């Protein structure tokens, strides 16, 4: 099967700024289900093994899209590095939901896409964003969360919060790049003024789509209790716990092997099976 890879497509979002997306799909005359991968905090579309996942989904007969949020710290000119820390510091949930909407709007117009079959796959914080978008946008038929948070209220607490409020910025060290990543106080202000919208728990309860929740039992960043909680909130969802899997299911940056790590391969196969069962063949 021949796979088409269109990389670094420019998406324009007048509410934020231009950003990049990739599309992987098989060469066929049939309309294909649209699968959109939503990266998490300090993530980006070309991180680790995401390209291998894209290929695997395309080979399975899907139109697979991954993208960089406009304010994730990458730029149109440099999509592989956090070259714009000012943008990173000015990111917020409103911008991410706007960007995700722009991605959906852009790709549903593609003649190769079946606009009646749209699935989001959100990793980590991207899972929370995807849950909210699934509740808000009735075009979305399926949602898969990978190592997802169950709340977007993940801000500094107590003294650290007061220091953030007073200074207007706090920094988080990126262990891989050794960069000090800024977070401006506007992030919290944006959350607070629209906190009902950013309620992942409410979105999980109300979402009408088919939902699959996947989490590793050895996740060092987001406890698997988040997954169990989301499953309780949405009892029609499916819950899959991967024994001993970490936050990225064995992947890391850079990923230089030609095969997926074992845990991530299991995850990908389960995702494909779920989409075929619940979305394609229903």
Would you say residue 180 lies in a domain? no
Would you say residue 174 lies in a domain? no
Would you say residue 69 lies in a domain? yes
User: Rounded mean pLDDT of 87-100?
Assistant: 98
Question: With b meaning 16 or more CB within 10 Å and e meaning fewer, what string describes 37-53?
Answer: bbbbbbbbbbbbbbbbb
Domain that holds residue 227: 16-154+199-280
Instruction: Identify the band that residue 92 occupies on the pLDDT scale cut at 50, 70 and 90.
Output: very high
Each residue's pLDDT tens digit, 234-252: 999 999 999 999 999 999 9
Would you say residue 170 lies in a domain? no
240: CATH: 3.40.50.1820
pLDDT of residue 282 exceeding 90, the answer is no
Would you say residue 191 lies in a domain? no
Rounded to two decimals, the pTM is: 0.99
Would you say residue 177 lies in a domain? no
Structural domain tally of the chain? 1
The pLDDT of residue 1 is 83
Please write down the long-range contacts of 272-278, taking CB distance under 8 Å and 24 or more positions apart: 272/56, 272/57, 272/60, 272/62, 274/142, 274/144, 274/210, 274/212, 274/238, 275/33, 275/35, 275/62, 275/119, 275/142, 275/144, 276/60, 278/141, 278/142, 278/210, 278/212
The pLDDT of residue 162 is 98
Instruction: Identify the band that residue 218 occupies on the pLDDT scale cut at 50, 70 and 90.
Output: very high
Would you say residue 190 lies in a domain? no
pLDDT of residue 171 exceeding 90, the answer is yes
Would you say residue 7 lies in a domain? no
Instruction: Identify the band that residue 225 occupies on the pLDDT scale cut at 50, 70 and 90.
Output: very high
């Amino acid at each position: 099967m021949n796979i088409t890879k269109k990389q670094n497509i420019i998406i324009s979002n007048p509410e934020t700024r231009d950003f990049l997306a990739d599309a992987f799909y098989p060469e066929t005359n049939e309309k294909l289900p649209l699968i959109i991968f939503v990266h998490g905090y300090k993530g980006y579309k070309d991180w680790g093994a995401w390209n291998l996942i894209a290929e695997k989904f395309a080979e399975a007969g899907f139109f697979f899209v991954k993208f960089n949020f406009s304010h994730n710290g990458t730029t149109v000119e440099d999509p592989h590095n956090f070259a714009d820390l000012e943008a990173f510091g000015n990111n917020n949930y409103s911008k991410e939901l706007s960007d995700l909407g722009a991605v959906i709007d852009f790709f549903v117009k593609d003649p190769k896409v079946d606009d009646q079959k749209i699935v989001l796959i959100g990793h980590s914080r991207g899972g929370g964003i995807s849950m909210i978008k699934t509740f808000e946008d009735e075009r979305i038929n399926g949602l898969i969360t990978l190592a997802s948070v169950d709340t977007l209220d993940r801000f500094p607490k107590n003294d650290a919060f007061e220091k953030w409020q007073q200074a207007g910025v706090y920094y988080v060290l990126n262990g891989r790049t050794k960069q000090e990543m800024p977070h401006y106080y506007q992030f919290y202000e944006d959350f607070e003024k629209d906190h009902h919208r950013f309620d992942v728990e409410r979105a999980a309860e109300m979402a009408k789509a088919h939902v699959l929740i996947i989490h590793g039992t050895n996740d060092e960043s987001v406890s698997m209790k988040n997954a169990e909680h989301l499953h309780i909130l949405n009892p029609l969802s499916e819950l899959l716990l991967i024994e001993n899997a970490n936050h990225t299911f064995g992947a890391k940056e850079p990923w230089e092997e030609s095969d997926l790590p074992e845990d991530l391969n299991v995850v990908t196969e389960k995702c494909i099976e779920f989409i075929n069962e619940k979305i394609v063949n229903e």
